[in-house]
Amino acid sequence: MSFSRNLKILFFEESQVIEKDGEWLHELAMNNTVLETLNFYMTDLSQVSFKDLELIAKRCKSLVSVKIGDCEILDLVGFFKSAVALEEFSGGCFNHQAEQYASVVYPPRLCRLGLNYMSTNEMPFVFPFASRLKKLDLLYALLDTDDHCLLLQRCPNLEVLETRNVIGDRGMEVLGSCCRKIKRLRIERGADEQEMEDEEGVVSQRGLTAIAQGCLDLEYIAVYVSDITNAALETMGKNLTNLCDFRMVLLDKEEVITDLPLDNGIRSLLSGCNKLRRFALYLRPGGLTDVGLSYIGQYSQNIRWMLLGYLGESDSGLLGFSTGCPSLQKLEVRGCCFSENALALAVLQLKSLRYLWVQGYRGSRTGCDLLAMARPYWNIEIIPPRKVNLGEGRETEHPAHILAYYSLAGPRTDFPPSVIPLVSVAP
């Protein structure tokens, strides 16, 4: 592996790699002295030696970021001792009694951390250096709402947090009061099985209001909420003026939502957060009227990417939306009630649009009405609605799909059998 001598970044995260053995890491350890980033996080690469990791740390004095798989933390004591320049670490696992981890000393510059399978018992070992943490990934930690509160109140310099909605509204309130430097907040959906999540582990308007009032530097938020109100969205629009990327999904866990439709709240959010470039809103039927959909078009002057789920009531809402959004380049729509004709007319009005993906609409078998959007280099593909056999006498209905995109190279030729390409206009 002589070619690896000058390698500074090796990045495999979430890649599908067929592993032969762990010799690749050993060769890297033996031949490289300039590595800065080593990342095979969330892969199936497991035949690696912690001794090779320690050797890399000793030889590569500029190593600042390491993200690995499920390697026992106690086996990494020597690695942590040698990695004096390390700023980011993710991965590892805890397979022994909690008191055994008291001997683990993390590198002095470590400020970005993600410990897989960390539970309540191991969490105190993060406390000594929690105050210098700038990024914390808790997506695969085994923490409940109380644990989140205890940990976050010790992280005043946190800028990036990734976790699940088990953080709860109480955890969001701690975040809003103790972590005022937060710039990026990602809250994923937790396990659906009730016994696997804290009963308080839901995020609602209460938690979002706390964030909007305390984390005024927020630039990115992606969150799954169980309840939401117009007032919470209005508070976000008033206070989060640096927001560039907003993504919210309303879960279907609760039958009754406090305050629908969200027309006025979305209008306030978009009019106040005029730096937004990316916007995703996934609600449920009745969550936004045609008027609210037209507000999205009217107040999205700078947004380039948008995902809309279960919004609007009729074609008129989509057509009202499409009179705005002058900068929109990529649009994804799910679960909509729109006709092919309305979708085609909307595309023609969205002058900057380069990509359209629709899942679920009032589709036909031929898609002929979609040809109204035909233009040079604009490729249109459809998947008609169909029933899929799940076996054992069970079937499921797959909704119709549309994919339309600009390409100077012309339409692709590797269509699966379910895809129907529509003849467009020749240049």
For 67-81, 244-258, 301-315, which range has the lowest pLDDT when averaged over its residues? 244-258
Query: What is the rounded distance in angstroms from the CA atom of residue 165 to the CA atom of residue 340?
Result: 37
Burial of 295 (0-12, 13-18, 19+ CB in 10 A): buried
352: CATH? 3.80.10.10
How many structural domains are present in the chain?
2
The model's confidence at residue 196, banded by pLDDT at 50, 70 and 90, is very low
Q: What is the pLDDT of residue 151?
A: 97
Query: What is the rounded distance in angstroms from the CA atom of residue 253 to the CA atom of residue 328?
Result: 32
Is 420 a member of any domain?
no
Beta bridge partners of 279: 246, 306
Reported pTM: 0.90
Nearest to 90 by CA among 61, 64, 108, 129: 64
Using one digit for the tens of pLDDT, what is the confidence trace for 42-62?
Answer: 888 788 888 999 999 999 999
For 216-220, 240-244, 266-270, 380-384, which range has the lowest pLDDT when averaged over its residues? 380-384
**Domain limits for position 114:** 105-372+379-405
Is 410 a member of any domain?
no
Residues 217 and 324 in one domain: yes
Which tokens belong to 175? 């975040």
Give per-residue burial for 1-26: e unless 16+ CB within 10 Å, then b.
Answer: eeebeebeebeeeeeeeeeeeeebbb
Residues 149 and 216 in one domain: yes
Query: What is the rounded distance in angstroms from the CA atom of residue 269 to the CA atom of residue 280?
Result: 12
Using one digit for the tens of pLDDT, what is the confidence trace for 156-168?
Answer: 999 999 999 999 9
Q: Is the pLDDT of residue 426 over 70?
A: no
Residues 40 and 163 in one domain: no
Domain boundary pick from 104, 122, 147 = 104
Residues 181 and 265 in one domain: yes
Is 345 a member of any domain?
yes
Residues 140 and 246 in one domain: yes
